[in-house]
Amino acid sequence: MAALIAENFRFLSLFFKSKDVMIFNGLVALGTVGSEELFSVVAFNCPCSPARNYIYGLAAIGVPALALFLIGVIWNNHTWNLVAECHKRGTKNFSAAATFLLFGSIMGRASVAPITWSVISLLRGEAYICALSEFVKPSSLDKFPAEYGAEVLAKIPCRDVPANLTKFRDEVTRRLRYESQLFGWLLIGIVAVLVFLTKCLKHCCSPLSYRQEAYWAQYRSNEDKLFRRTAEVHSRILAAKNVKQFFGFVALDKEEKELVQEFPVEGVQPSPQWNAITGVYIYRENKGFPLYSRLHKWAKGVEGNGPTPEGHELLFLAS
């Protein structure tokens, strides 16, 4: 158990550090597969009771998928950028296409884990067999004893059936597993087609060349890394300055003393500046020059969020 917990923490570390979308989605999928396997081993236990099987089986597939979807929405930066955008500026500056693109990005990223969970659950078949075993029609089973009904069929997932029904148990299990795995493979195929079409549509509608899009991705990654690193240093120096003012001295280690001497901090950024660089960003150009982020736009002194006679909204969301 300790090893499993350690592996989960290691996975979460990679999950939060990953910036590349494909690596990010791959880590989500792998983590979901591991979680589903663990759940099936230690948590899944079909009640083998009429009416309860169906609810329990669907809950075993649907509830974790819903929880993973909500977690994906919560952990997506676009979600909170959208909240900040609506709170500070509203969505009047966004066209319908931009709004659809934003929600599509949030929902698409959040759907990776729940779809993976559902696919693995269907391929394993245990939850599906548990949910639907009692609904198998006895008439569809050759020479099934008439005295047995849904109550006995509901016990098939637990293999708790009379000896004379063993062959029927194997047939029902095989039939339901076939259906479950068929739905799983169909879901994989549908998702693969949708992902392919989405990627094609994205590249066809993108106003950027392949090289510029790659540069934009590198810029966003570097800006985020430098901003976080600088904010950490700035906040540490500002905290040291305030602590020193309160106590008359501040206990700093060698590295912190060098930071304080090298980067003097005079004050803090006013709230309007923070608001200007916070929120949803759609790729725009100003007088033919690209603006790669809200911070970039603020540094260039470009005002407003919507398209202007000199600024062109290209409806391309930062992923």
Per-residue model confidence (pLDDT) at position 93:
60
Per-residue model confidence (pLDDT) at position 10:
42
Per-residue model confidence (pLDDT) at position 11:
39
Per-residue model confidence (pLDDT) at position 161:
73
Per-residue model confidence (pLDDT) at position 89:
64
Per-residue model confidence (pLDDT) at position 232:
94
Per-residue model confidence (pLDDT) at position 50:
86
Q: Give me the residue spans of the domains in the chain.
A: 31-205, 210-300
Helices (H), the chain: 2-17, 21-42, 52-75, 77-88, 96-110, 112-124, 126-132, 150-153, 166-205, 210-247, 254-262, 271-276, 294-299
Angle at 126 between CA 125 and CA 127, to 5 degrees: 95
Closest to 317 measured CA to CA, from 206, 196, 204, 188 = 206
Q: Whole-prediction pTM value?
A: 0.69
Per-residue model confidence (pLDDT) at position 3:
42
Per-residue model confidence (pLDDT) at position 137:
81
Residue with tokens 């304080």: 260
Residue numbers in the chain where pLDDT is lower than 50: 1-19, 41, 306-316, 318-319
Task: Return d(Cα 293, Cα 295) in angstroms, integer.
Answer: 5
Per-residue model confidence (pLDDT) at position 251:
93
Per-residue model confidence (pLDDT) at position 90:
65
Q: Tell me the per-residue pLDDT of 158-205, one tens digit each, with 9 for 90 and over.
A: 877 777 777 778 888 889 999 999 999 999 999 999 989 988 887 787
Torsion sign across C-alpha atoms 260, 264, 266, 271: negative
Q: Tell me the per-residue pLDDT of 103-139, one tens digit each, with 9 for 90 and over.
A: 888 888 889 889 988 998 899 888 999 999 888 887 7
Per-residue model confidence (pLDDT) at position 38:
57
Per-residue model confidence (pLDDT) at position 282:
77
